[in-house]
Structure 1
Amino acid sequence: MATITTEAPAAVPVAATRAPLWRRAPAGLLFVLPFLLFYLAFLVWPTLSAFVLSFFNESLTGTRGELVGLRNWTEMLGDAAMWSALGNTLYFTALSTPALVLTGLVMALLTNRVMPMRWLWRLSFFMPFLLPASVMALIWVWIYQPGFGLLNAALTSVGLSEQGWLSDPSVAMISVVIATLWWTAGFNFLLYLAALQQIPQHLYEAASIDGAGWWQRLWSITLPLLKRTTGLVIVLQLLASLRLFDQAYLIYIGSGGPAFSARPILEYVYDTAFTSFRFGYASAISSFFFVLIVVVSVAQLKLFPSRREDAR
């Protein structure tokens, strides 16, 4: 008797059922085109123009100045004021990044628990982030004032001496860090809070049944599952701290602080371009700082690999 065998038809690759890439590309470009035009007009073109401008002795009139080649770049390498401003920026980044990451995590852990008026605490932690930079600077200038300032009044009430928060070069940048911590920690708090709410509760319940306390659950469950969010927060915070300008400029009214101890490199670029009217030299500094940020970004990609690279 003949044996009848049935075989399943060969599976057709999914890629074969799709339209070719050249047919699907126009539809995708229509969605991407508005963003692409803004990206090219307001980011790529200004970046390339600034790099080209760094080889010219450009003036305020906007006419192309004398071609000076690498003269602006060589002058920049020997500019002590530029290196001082870059050092201030790196000092601010080193102080603010760990503090902002840790503060955002602590606030998220506190408000993720079941507690009375939890919505009010969450709102209070996030509200400062919504304030404009000018309002934040005005608030903290009053807090730092000698005599009647809130911070110095608190110090004298416990028997400590007043501190020249806005006049002492040794604490001028620390004053900017404290104000920035109060102002922007709410963004990191929001990212951490969203990540905490995605952790399954049955993991904590199982750990509690096994006798794990709060500290053990934090180290064994919460922090490992927040690893990817922590990497994202660190990357965003480093880039934000390197771009320090608004709060430092407004708190010290563009003076750079006592002995220029709180002048970041972006403020130095601003002063060079719009006070000394040396646009070519300011473009060289900006291009150098852009390269530095690119190097930091590439290093962060190596330290915090993507999900696909992490799964290999």
Structure 2
Amino acid sequence: MSSAALDVGADRTRSRGATSDQSTVTRRSRDNRIGWLFVTPFVVFFAMFLLWPLIHGFWLSFTGESITGAGGAFLGLDNYAEAVRDPIVWRSMLNTLWFTILSTVPLVLVALVMALLVFQGLPGQWLWRLSFFMPFLLASTVAAQFWIWMYNPQLGLVNYLLGALGGEGKAWLQDPAWAMVAVVVETLWWTVGLNFLLYLTALQNIPEQQYEASALDGAGRWRQLRSITIPQLGPTTALVVILQILASLKVFDQIYVMTNGGPGGVTRPIVQYIFESGFTGYRFGYASSIAYIFFAVIIVVSLVQVRFTTRRSAA
């Protein structure tokens, strides 16, 4: 074959390759445009309802902005300095931390026990699953009002049952020693269904062959629970703990409805104080500074949790 023919063949090959590359680039460009078209509604709503409020709120934290729109002068770090010196800020932080500690442990353990009971084959499983999960579907105000009636000192079911058992009733939501515990019990009843569902799903994903092999080796139910079930649920437990801590740190609804932060401020969480500073005290700038201090605390807690979880998984 002559060199001219070889050159012509090579030119055709290069031409087809260039055409193919151009077609690929055109197709990718078209796919990118279509992709951005689908993503645009989310980007617009994300910018309008999350990104812009985040930026605007951060700017307000450096101003004296009020709910009326007046007093928007730039104050620098004055709001942050005042928040650091404000004893109510730290008391509300401690209340939030105390609620998180009281609620996280039972919400993890009770959910695990409920999931294990259903997984072991209780009669009428559909009824148990419905009963455990249904409270989670209620609005926070509905669940709170239900327990306000339950805790009623004169007519409430809690005091009635205590009296029937020979115990002494209390004004649960008005007693500083018991108000936070009463809110935690309501929160446990109301939200444990989600953790229960996460654990039940994880249990159903454990290979049945592991239980069969351990049974052949003579392992009983308790040994299987310790050696197979609990270790296999490790990632789910980490997820549940992280979600529960973050949810507890942001508590507001049930406390606001049930106690309004009382009695004497012993149940006031930091989110309620932010709300009160902005919408009752009309100080948007100051409320924003407290919110961003709390935001920084949540970020630190989240990073510590992720670091701890990552190390534990690696080990």
TM-score, normalising length: structure 1: 0.88
Structure 1 residue 205 and structure 2 residue 209: aligned? no
Of the candidates 195, 199, 206, which is equivalent to residue 202 of structure 2? 195
Residue 158 of structure 1, CA deviation: 1.8
Which residue of 153, 161, 164 maps to 2:160?
153
**How far 1:34 moved relative to its partner?**
2.6
2:97 maps to 90
Letter in 1 for 2:206: I
From 293, 296, 299, the equivalent of 2:298 is: 293
- 2:183 pairs with 1:181: no
Q: Which amino acid counterpart does residue 191 of structure 1 have in structure 2?
A: L
1 CA distance for matches of 2:109 and 2:166? 29
Deviations 1:5-54 (A, max 9, x none): xxxxxxxxxxx9xx679746545434433323222221222111111101
Q: Is this contact kept in 1: 2:68–2:282, CA < 8 A?
A: no
Which amino acid in 2 is paired with 1:223? I
Partner Cα distance (2:59, 2:84) in 1? 18
2:309 aligned to 281, 304, 308, which one? Answer: 304
Distance 1:197 1:26 in 2: 41
Q: Is the 8 A contact 2:238 2:309 kept in 1?
A: yes
Distance in 2 between residues matched to 1:300 and 1:41, nearest whole Å: 30
CA distance in 2, matches of 1:78, 1:172: 27
What percent of counterpart residues are identical? Answer: 50
Which residue identity does 2:263 align to in structure 1? P
RMSD (Å) for aligned C-alpha atoms: 2.2
Task: Say whether residues 1:75 and 2:82 are aligned partners.
Answer: yes
Matches within 5 A, 1:133-282: 133-252=140-259, 254=260, 256-282=261-287
Counterparts of 2:37 and 2:104, CA distance in 1: 39
C-alpha displacement of 1:149:
1.1
Could you tell me which residue of structure 2 aligns to residue 11 of structure 1? none
Considering fraction of residues, name the structure with more helix: 2
Deviation of 1:133 (Å): 1.0
For 2:42 and 2:313, the matched residues in 1 are separated by 30
- Cα distance in structure 1, aligned partners of 2:231 and 2:34: 41
Distance 1:55 1:194 in 2: 46
2:251 aligns to what SS in structure 1? coil
Match of 1:7 in 2: none
After superposition, what is the alpha-carbon deviation per residue over 1:178-224, rounded to whole angstroms, capped at 9, x for unaligned? 00000000000011111111111111111111111111101111111
Structure 1: gaps (5+ residues) = 1-15
Q: After superposition, what is the alpha-carbon deviation per residue over 1:210-267, rounded to whole angstroms, capped at 9, x for unaligned?
A: 1111111011111111111111111111110011000000112x3x110011111111
User: Residues of 1 paired with 2:214 and 2:189: CA distance?
Assistant: 35
Count of aligned positions: 292
Greater CA drift, 31-40 or 134-143? 31-40
SS in 1 for 2:310: coil
129-138 or 148-157: which moved more?
148-157
Residues of 1 paired with 2:299 and 2:32: CA distance?
30
**Structure 2 match to 1:9:** none
Separation of aligned partners in 1, 2:35 and 2:238: 31
The 5-angstrom pairing of residues 113-128 of structure 1 reads 113-128=120-135
**d(CA) in 2 for partners of 1:42 and 1:251?**
29
Q: How many angstroms apart in 1 are the aligned matches of 2:28 and 2:298? A: 35
* TM-score (structure 2 length as normaliser): 0.87
Unaligned ranges ≥5, structure 2: 1-20
Q: Deviations over 1:47-69 (max 9, x none)?
A: 11111101100022235611111
